[in-house]
């Protein structure tokens, strides 16, 4: 009879351990899916943010400063503040202020070459933060575009 008890206990232990392992794997899978979803959302909002900066610059240079891209910039940075940590969202928010100021000055016809260079340098720094946040480190020795 002891062999039967050992067999039943062994079977029950196998079922229990298998169930626990299945739950652990399901939990890991859900976590990985959430991380992938967050990464995809960040990638999309970072791209929209950078696209809006470029479009705003295009409006400023052409003198057609309709401010539509300013709204897009503010919307994108609001999403960044929700999705990303403060070390990414604060520089992005500060960049929006600098971009709007620079593009407003450019639209008035002022020569703001030095200002544009400074804003562009800050834009590159924010791009590097975005890449780091997404796990896309730039190769060493190369400047981010």
pLDDT at 33: 83
Task: Say if 139 falls within a structural domain.
Answer: no
Measured between alpha carbons, how far is residue 117 from residues 2, 66, 99, 108 in Å?
83, 23, 11, 18
Assign residue 65 a region: left if phi > 0, alpha if psi is -120 to 50, beta otherwise?
Answer: beta
32 within 8 A of 74, measured Cβ to Cβ = no
Note whether residue 142 is domain-resident.
no
- Whether 68 is covered by a domain: the verdict is yes
Question: What is the domain extent for residue 50?
Answer: 38-134
Residue 47 domain flag? yes
Task: Report the distance separating Cα 54 and Cα 61, nearest Å.
Answer: 11
pLDDT in tens, the chain (145 residues): 688 888 888 888 888 888 888 888 878 888 888 888 889 999 999 999 999 998 888 888 877 777 778 889 999 999 999 999 999 999 999 999 999 988 888 888 777 778 888 899 999 999 999 999 999 875 555 554 4
pTM of full prediction above 0.95? no
Residue 49 in domain:
yes
In degrees, to the nearest 5, what angle opens at C-alpha 107 toward C-alphas 69 and 65? Answer: 35
User: Is residue 140 domain-resident?
Assistant: no
- Is 116 part of a structural domain of the chain? yes
Q: Within a domain: residue 25?
A: no
Q: What is the pLDDT of residue 93?
A: 95
Domain count, the chain: 1
């Amino acid at each position: 009879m002891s062999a039967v008890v050992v067999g039943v206990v062994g079977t029950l232990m196998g079922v229990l351990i298998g169930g626990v392992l299945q739950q652990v794997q399901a939990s890991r899978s859900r976590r990985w899916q959430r991380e992938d979803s967050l990464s995809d959302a960040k990638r999309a909002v970072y791209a929209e943010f950078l696209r809006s900066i470029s479009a705003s610059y295009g409006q400023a240079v052409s003198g057609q400063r309709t401010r539509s891209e300013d709204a897009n910039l503010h919307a994108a940075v609001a999403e960044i503040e929700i999705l990303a940590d403060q070390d990414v969202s604060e520089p992005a928010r500060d960049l929006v202020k600098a971009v709007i100021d620079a593009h407003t000055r450019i639209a008035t016809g002022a020569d703001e070459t030095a200002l544009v260079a400074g804003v562009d340098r800050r834009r590159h720094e924010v791009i590097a933060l975005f890449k780091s946040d997404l796990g896309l480190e730039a190769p060493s020795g190369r400047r981010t575009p």
